[in-house]
Amino acid sequence: MDRVEKSCKNSAGVRQNRALAVWRQFRRNKGAMIGLIITAALILLAVSADFIWDYETDVIGMNIADRMISPGTKYLFGTDNYGRDMLARVGYGARYSLVIGAVSVLFGLFVGVPIGTSAGYLGGRYDTIIMRMIDAFSIVPSILLTILMVTVLGTSLLNLMIALAISTIPIFARITRASVLTVRYNEYIESAKAIGASDFYIITKYIIPNCFSPILVQATLRMGTNIISAAGLSYIGLGVALPTPEWGALLSASKQFIIQAPYLCFFPGLAIMITVMSINLVGDGLRDALDPKLKR
């Protein structure tokens, strides 16, 4: 390698690292950077929640003496009707929302991307059948589909994630298929075939890397949507049940006190909004950074 490295030194073309180039583009986008910082902070919060608050005492432990205290110096976010610190509950809740968002999207990717890739790459009858099935799935609004599935499976955190993941699959299958189709007919795919590359090699080395950006962007944006859906389902009692401090469940429990103690609704709502917004900002920033053509 030595010889090559030396001969490269006076090369005019600077060796470009694509990830680095994307990062540079991303960094220039202020909104995206704010989103990234907030998202990173939320992830940190979710990871370290157990070190900050003790689940049994701070999060679900009741303290009747301190019930319904408005936000102040002692309790920054106030306390609820059982005297629980809302800061602890909302803070701990980050864990649920982020995990639900991430797991449901990862599962959707895990199933949807292979479906979309095979449909786009193989084409023909297989493509038609698979995509019509996906279409049939997508006709039902995804929130209805999720409600249906939670009702069938029963309400629990795991079932909520499964239901959200399943309603996410068609989206990833579609977007993957679409971008596979744009890549598949490039001459360089044919040139890989000509040197004797197998289909598996072509898919993993050529197709997926060249379809990566739209899928990544969609995954990020979808995570925000799934967090909202999860909160919504918990709100109507189909998601995570109380006393688990999931944000939607918190909202649901607080709504009866909305006149006396509006802060009880305010903070979980704000948390949902900030989380989803910052994740969407990251998604938008990624889209711009990955495809500079879209910007103008």
Partner 1 sequence: MQEAILKVTNLKKYFKTKKGTVHAVDGVSFSIEKGKTLGIVGESGCGKSTTGRAILRLVEPTDGEVIFEGIDVTKADKKQLSALRRDMQIVFQDPFSSVNPRMTVSQLIAEPLVVNKIYKGRGSKQQIEDRVLELMDTVGLARRLYNSYPHELDGGRRQRIGIARALAMNPKFIVCDEPVSALDVSIQAQILNLMKELQNSLQLTYIFITHNLSVVNHFADEIAVMYLGSLVEKAPVKELFDHPMHPYTQALLSAIPVPEITENEEEILIKGEITSPVNLPEECRFYSRCSYACELCKKGRPELQEVRPGHFVACRRIHDVRMEEKRI
Question: Distance between CA atoms of 109 and 220, rounded to whole angstroms?
Answer: 11
The nearest distance, CB 206 to partner 1, in angstroms, is 6
State the helix-helix crossing angle for 263-290 and 30-52, rounded to 10 degrees.
Answer: 130
The nearest distance, CB 118 to partner 1, in angstroms, is 19
29 secondary structure, DSSP code = -
Q: Sign of the CA dihedral 125, 128, 134, 136?
A: negative
Beta-carbon contacts of 289 under 8 Å, excluding residues fewer than 6 positions away, are 22, 23, 25, 26, 29, 32
| DSSP states of 36-63 | HHHHHHHHHHHHHHHHHS-IIIIIS---
The nearest distance, CB 109 to partner 1, in angstroms, is 20
Could you tell me which residues are beta bridge partners of residue 85?
79
Using the rule CB under 8 A, is 16 a contact of partner 1?
yes
For the window 130-169, what string marks contact with partner 1 as x by the rule CB under 8 A? ----------------------------------------
Choose which of 107, 121, 206, 247 interacts with partner 1 (CB under 8 A). Answer: 206
Choose which of 7, 19, 65, 139 interacts with partner 1 (CB under 8 A). Answer: 7
State the helix-helix crossing angle for 157-184 and 124-139, rounded to 10 degrees.
Answer: 140
Choose which of 19, 64, 194, 294 interacts with partner 1 (CB under 8 A). Answer: 194
Nearest partner of 122 among 210, 186, 184, judged by Cα? 184
Using the rule CB under 8 A, is 8 a contact of partner 1?
yes
Using the rule CB under 8 A, is 121 a contact of partner 1?
no
The nearest distance, CB 242 to partner 1, in angstroms, is 50
Nearer to partner 1, 110 or 201 (CB): 201
The nearest distance, CB 15 to partner 1, in angstroms, is 5
Choose which of 20, 187, 200, 294 interacts with partner 1 (CB under 8 A). Answer: 187
Stretch touching partner 1 by CB under 8 A, among 128-136, 190-198, 224-232, 257-265: 190-198
Choose which of 196, 259, 294, 296 interacts with partner 1 (CB under 8 A). Answer: 196
Using the rule CB under 8 A, is 209 a contact of partner 1?
yes
Question: Distance between CA atoms of 154 and 158, rounded to whole angstroms?
Answer: 10
Burial 122-141 (b: 16+ CB within 10 A, else e): eeeeebeebbeebeebbeee
| DSSP states of 148-195 | HHHHHH-SSHHHHHHHHHHHHHHHHHHHHHHHHHHHHTSHHHHHHHHT
In the window 48-87, what residues touch partner 1 (CB under 8 A)? none
Using the rule CB under 8 A, is 20 a contact of partner 1?
no
Give the binding-site size for partner 1 (rule: CB under 8 A): 26
The nearest distance, CB 8 to partner 1, in angstroms, is 6
Choose which of 158, 188, 255, 262 interacts with partner 1 (CB under 8 A). Answer: 188
Residue 94 · residue 46 · CB < 8 Å: yes
Nearer to partner 1, 145 or 192 (CB): 192
